[in-house]
Chain A
Amino acid sequence: MNAPLAPPRTRPGPRATATARATPGIAPLLGPMLAEAVAALSANRLRSGLTMLGMVIGVAAVILMLAIGNGVQGQVERSISALGSNLLIVNSGAARSGGGFSQGAGSRPTLTLDDAEAIARLPDVLAAAPTSSFAAQVVAGPTNWLTQVTTTTPAWFIVQSWFPEEGRAFSAMEERQAARVAVIGQTTARELFGASDPIGEQIRVRGVSFTVIGLLPERGQGIGGVDRDDVVVLPLTASLRLVQGGGAFRRFVRSISVAVTTPEAMAPTEAAITDLLRRRHGLSPRDENDFSITNLTAVGQTFQETTGAISLLLGAIGGISLVVGGIGIMNIMLVSVTERTREIGIRMALGAPRAAVRLQFLLEALMLSIVGCAAGVLIGTGLAVLASRFLPFPTIISPASVVAAFAISAAIGIFFGWYPATRAARLSPIEALRS
């Protein structure tokens, strides 16, 4: 107390300070006010944590939902691309009013191998594979396995763009000569032969022996969770004669898979096939089609749009919780402004401009939303990783969704912090001090 009290006068002339025209802008206050916000929020950790909870849950929900949605979409995309692109399936039997097609067992197939050859000659058709499929018990030595048997021509491998990774596909010659050869999928190979090489082995389908000449590469799940690697592909002629017993069904097939050159050619080709088949089947203009054509790309797109809509819905639910979280922040910030009116008055008495007071409370709101968002991203990511273990497909966290979560949270912090911050800044210094 005895030390000299007078601080050295370092200021410019008194008149300059009294009028203080050289007010520092708001920018140099950013750092100190940020530190203040951290201090204020950590001084009341429980309340800050509870306030952030809304943001945490909202962001975690958005991240998780989008990760699952992306996962579903990725799965669907894989399924669709695995189906083979630009694929038309022509089925025997009239289209039903319900939208499906009648293909009931026992109904007589209306498509023939000649139809398939005629379709293959159409412009824009890459390949057309007549196909009949049925479930059958396949036997290899002591082992047997119920699998899907597809009987077709070599064009099928082109249509599916699926070629053996080991061995080879059967040739057109082998198909015509009804060679007893088979190409099998990974699941069938594993079930029948375990780890040993299936090439050259014998399998029996409905009592007839076939030699395995090719092994198809893994293709994974199809739409609806079908295991597409659980398959045996046989030459059509061989199976027409030997497996299905021939007779009335000779040269008739259940369906024809058609690969079209470009996506744009899909619709014209669909129309061209309809014309061709109506002519070949001798249908009069009054008759209904005795076949139906399914555009798998269109089906896939519909499926994709549906899953896209589901992702959007899930995201929207998360978005609503974000807004609710923002309102929670506004609520607490309003309480905080009321509680700290005296503090605001003191700051103003010490020369805080209104803009600085607004900045301080805005930064607090922003901090709540950003920190809440960061916690939400961590929790959402953790849950998404966890979900991958339980879902039949991996969840995908897109960096864009994380960036968007932060951007939206910042916007919510500013939007819902603005009103309380403005309320604080509008206080009159003396009234705030008196509170």
Chain B
Amino acid sequence: MPVPPEDRPPEDGPPLLALEGIVKDYASEAGSFRALDGVSMTVRPGELLAIMGPSGSGKSTLMNIIGALDTPTAGRFLFDGEDTSTMSEAALAALRNRAIGFVFQQFNLLPRLSARDNVALPLVYAGLSRRERLARADTLLARVGLADKTGARPSQLSGGQQQRVAIARALAVDPRLLLADEPTGALDTRTGAEILALFKALNREARVTVILVTHDPGVAAATDRVVRIQDGRVTFDGPPTPEALAGGVGHLYEGAAP
């Protein structure tokens, strides 16, 4: 396992995530396109990890596989030691519902529902009663600073507010893993910083494992670990040193000998 020397695992014990030679091919008119080409990495419980890389390098593809939204063409993805390729559809749905919170760049709120109902939606599928769902939604909206917006529709909220609703929704089922694909990409700098502070606090105070995709070196600098991806391959995996953040060759592995 390529664990960078200075990157002490935040928690001991087995890894939360293990990716072993993940390959993802997309069929296109000009034959098949390899979006991920043998990605291997492990993530321990409690890590705060940034994935960086140029546009089109395969970051979202990787996040979708980690979020159990998509399946790899080849390779194995183990969640908490269990091979997801052997899990049933129902078990995968339950995994998405109970263990993983996903924050999308485009928020992906349901426009017809109020902020409260959007946050409560995962709890519907978790089988909570209406009273429990709404109480929990209100609590979470208060925690992201939207106590006075519970009844608002997404269209009545600013981008930052919508993203905070989306984060509250991702936290609704109290997930062990929070995934955020360019969560601040659609937001201004100040709002982005607020959102980032939220992730950081979650990671530090609740020991939620957080993986976020970002282009912002400032954001990545605040994390424990940076994984750089280029053309579907991991080109760097290590602590957020200045070289790593600049995109230079910091700590290379896989194919490149040190």
Interface positions of A (Cβ within 8 A of B): 1, 3-7, 9-11, 14-15, 17-21, 23-24, 28-29, 31-32, 39-40, 43, 342-343, 346-356, 428-430, 433
Secondary structure class of chain A's binding surface, majority of residues: helix
- Please determine whether A18 and B79 come into contact, CB atoms closer than 8 angstroms: yes
A171 CB, min distance to chain B CBs, angstroms: 82
Q: Give the top 6 A-B pairs by smallest Cβ distance, nearest first.
A: A351-B97, A6-B206, A20-B94, A24-B127, A18-B80, A353-B93
- Please determine whether B130 and A32 come into contact, CB atoms closer than 8 angstroms: yes
Per-residue contact bits, chain B 150-186, to A (CB 8 Å; 1 contact, 0 not)? 0000000000000000000101011010000000000
B90 on interface, CB distance cutoff 8 Å: yes
Query: Which of A1, A20, A31 is B91 in contact with, Cβ under 8 Å?
Result: A20
Chain B residues positioned under 8 Å from A3 (CB to CB): 142-143
- Please determine whether A7 and B126 come into contact, CB atoms closer than 8 angstroms: no
A355 to B95, CA, bound (A): 15
- Please determine whether B198 and A29 come into contact, CB atoms closer than 8 angstroms: no
B102 on interface, CB distance cutoff 8 Å: yes
Once A348-B96, A351-B96, A352-B125 are accepted as A-B contacts, the answer to whether A7 and B143 lie under 8 Å apart by CB is yes
- Please determine whether A19 and B80 come into contact, CB atoms closer than 8 angstroms: yes
Chain A residues positioned under 8 Å from B121 (CB to CB): 347, 350
16 contacting pairs across A/B (C-beta < 8 A): A6-B206, A6-B208, A7-B171, A7-B206, A14-B99, A18-B80, A29-B127, A31-B130, A343-B110, A347-B125, A349-B108, A350-B122, A350-B169, A353-B90, A353-B125, A430-B69
A425 CB, min distance to chain B CBs, angstroms: 10
Nearest B residue to A25, CB-CB: B127
- Please determine whether B202 and A17 come into contact, CB atoms closer than 8 angstroms: no
Nearest B residue to A24, CB-CB: B127
Chain B residues positioned under 8 Å from A342 (CB to CB): 108
Chain B residues positioned under 8 Å from A24 (CB to CB): 126-127
Query: Which of A1, A7, A21 is B198 in contact with, Cβ under 8 Å?
Result: A1
A9 to B79, CA, bound (A): 20
- Please determine whether A15 and B80 come into contact, CB atoms closer than 8 angstroms: yes
- Please determine whether B143 and A5 come into contact, CB atoms closer than 8 angstroms: yes
B249 on interface, CB distance cutoff 8 Å: no
| B201-224 interface with A by 8 A CB criterion | 201-202, 205-206, 208
B240 on interface, CB distance cutoff 8 Å: no
B3 on interface, CB distance cutoff 8 Å: no
Query: Which of B70, B80, B125 is A350 in contact with, Cβ under 8 Å?
Result: B125
Query: Which of B45, B79, B202 is A6 in contact with, Cβ under 8 Å?
Result: B202
Nearest A residue to B61, CB-CB: A430
Nearest B residue to A350, CB-CB: B122
Interface core residue of B94, B109, B121, B174 (most chain A CB under 10 Å): B94
B144 on interface, CB distance cutoff 8 Å: yes
Per-residue contact bits, chain B 55-99, to A (CB 8 Å; 1 contact, 0 not)? 000000000100101100000000110100001011101111111
Given contacts A7-B140, A14-B176, A350-B96, 6 further A-B contacts (CB under 8 A): A6-B201, A14-B45, A17-B176, A20-B98, A29-B124, A352-B97
Once A5-B201, A7-B140, A348-B93 are accepted as A-B contacts, the answer to whether A17 and B112 lie under 8 Å apart by CB is no
Query: Which of B87, B89, B171 is A353 in contact with, Cβ under 8 Å?
Result: B89
Interface core residue of B93, B143, B205 (most chain A CB under 10 Å): B93
B139 on interface, CB distance cutoff 8 Å: yes
Nearest A residue to B97, CB-CB: A351
Once A1-B145, A5-B202 are accepted as A-B contacts, the answer to whether A349 and B80 lie under 8 Å apart by CB is no
A354 to B108, CA, bound (A): 19
Nearest A residue to B107, CB-CB: A346
Chain A residues positioned under 8 Å from B126 (CB to CB): 24, 351
Nearest B residue to A432, CB-CB: B69
A194 CB, min distance to chain B CBs, angstroms: 72
Chain B residues positioned under 8 Å from A39 (CB to CB): 112
Once A18-B82, A19-B80, A430-B69 are accepted as A-B contacts, the answer to whether A9 and B96 lie under 8 Å apart by CB is no
- Please determine whether B69 and A349 come into contact, CB atoms closer than 8 angstroms: yes
B25 on interface, CB distance cutoff 8 Å: no
Nearest B residue to A33, CB-CB: B124
- Please determine whether A19 and B174 come into contact, CB atoms closer than 8 angstroms: no
Chain B residues positioned under 8 Å from A28 (CB to CB): 127
- Please determine whether B139 and A351 come into contact, CB atoms closer than 8 angstroms: no
- Please determine whether A1 and B94 come into contact, CB atoms closer than 8 angstroms: no
B119 CB, min distance to chain A CBs, angstroms: 10
Chain A residues positioned under 8 Å from B70 (CB to CB): 428-430
B7 on interface, CB distance cutoff 8 Å: no
Chain B residues positioned under 8 Å from A21 (CB to CB): 91, 94
Chain B residues positioned under 8 Å from A7 (CB to CB): 139-140, 143, 171, 174, 206
Once A39-B112, A350-B169, A351-B125 are accepted as A-B contacts, the answer to whether A5 and B205 lie under 8 Å apart by CB is yes
Query: Which of A1, A19, A349 is B96 in contact with, Cβ under 8 Å?
Result: A349
Interface core residue of A5, A9, A430 (most chain B CB under 10 Å): A5
